[in-house]
Amino acid sequence: MISEEKHSYEELYRLGKGELESAGISEAELDARLLLEHVCGTNRNDLLVHGDREVAAAEQNVYERLLAGRKERIPLQQLTGRQEFMGLEFAVNEHVLIPRQDTEILVEEVLRNLYDGMRILDLCTGSGCILISLLHYSNDCEGVGTDISAEALDVARQNAQKLLGIQAGAGDALTFHGTEESAENRDGRISFIQGDLFEKVEGKFDIIVSNPPYICRNVIETLMPEVREHEPLLALDGGEDGISFYRRIMEECGSYLCGGGMLFLEIGYDQAADVRKLMEDAGFLEVSVVKDYGGQDRVVYGTKPFA
């Protein structure tokens, strides 16, 4: 609690920063500023040139509530409800993994291989950030996103509507060729299906992409509290050895990928050898590993041979 009295914009920023610092939040300065901007609808300039600006009591109350949340290690993005990814602003909440900058490498690799009219399947779509970015930066492609979590898919649909300007279908009985699907259930460009990986998916795709959960189960407890306590465990837990989803994807993807189609996977920094081997053993050709901007292995991809 900052205090009952009224404070100027700059005073609130300083008080907020102090509170977050004493709670041990590492980016206290940035977080205090971003939360204040979120509450007041301001931007960085306001602190520099309008620091003496009055802040309404209601805004101050909200700011204090958000600071309290941040002190409990709720991620900044869950407090503001958004995260930028590929230059687009995605809605997020506690039901989806917050889109990571590293995942932009995965999207960029797919974009290099994406042609107009292709069909894309995004497994474990979460906020939908991968699939929606791919459709936003291409022409006439169609996408299906799957996730086991209905709450995550609500977020993905909301993002598709906002960023692609379309209403994504409920997709429960989706087939790409539309045999079982009613018109209202499909808008032609993007659909979301609730299911475990390929469950309920039908048809063939030119590109399959996924950033599946890939953290070893016993490593999760060592992650920062923001992740460990507030991001969905379902989106993190990659099983005992961290690679259970890659194994399952490799076993099942053959029937959903066209000949010459490509599979793109985000991986943990130490999983390249294992995932490359899984892909090669599954018969993929030209299997490659791509590093992120931090120099860590981040993406593995390969091509399914023609028949």
Give the number of residues written for the chain: 307
CB of 254 to ligand GLN, least distance (A): 22
Is the CB of 8 or the CB of 194 nearer to ligand GLN? 194
Q: Which residues bind ligand GLN (CB under 6 A)?
A: 97, 99, 103, 124-127, 129-130, 211-213, 235
Rg (CA), the chain: 21
CB of 95 to ligand GLN, least distance (A): 10
Pair of tokens at residue 51? 């620091």
Q: Is the dihedral of CA 128, 129, 130, 132 positive or negative?
A: positive
Pair of tokens at residue 98? 């917050």
CB of 1 to ligand GLN, least distance (A): 35
CB of 227 to ligand GLN, least distance (A): 12
CB of 125 to ligand GLN, least distance (A): 5
Is the CB of 77 or the CB of 127 nearer to ligand GLN? 127
Is the CB of 40 or the CB of 235 nearer to ligand GLN? 235
Check: CB of residue 201 under 8 Å from CB of residue 181.
no
Name the one residue in this structure whose structure tokens are 């379309």. Answer: 166
Is the CB of 132 or the CB of 257 nearer to ligand GLN? 132
Pair of tokens at residue 217? 């189960």
> Distance (Å, rounded) from C-alpha 237 to C-alpha 245?
9
Is the CB of 99 or the CB of 143 nearer to ligand GLN? 99
> Distance (Å, rounded) from C-alpha 65 to C-alpha 36?
11
CB of 228 to ligand GLN, least distance (A): 15
Is the CB of 53 or the CB of 248 nearer to ligand GLN? 248
> Distance (Å, rounded) from C-alpha 216 to C-alpha 241?
5
> Distance (Å, rounded) from C-alpha 173 to C-alpha 193?
8
CB of 246 to ligand GLN, least distance (A): 12
Is the CB of 60 or the CB of 103 nearer to ligand GLN? 103
List the one residue out of 255, 260, 214, 257 whose CA is nearest residue 237: 214
> Distance (Å, rounded) from C-alpha 105 to C-alpha 298?
8
Q: Which residue has its beta carbon closest to ligand GLN? A: 126
Is the CB of 28 or the CB of 235 nearer to ligand GLN? 235
Name the one residue in this structure whose structure tokens are 């609690």. Answer: 1
CB of 306 to ligand GLN, least distance (A): 29
Phi first, then psi: what are they for 289, rounded to 5°?
-115, 135
Per DSSP, helices labelled H in 165-295 are 225-230, 244-252, 272-281
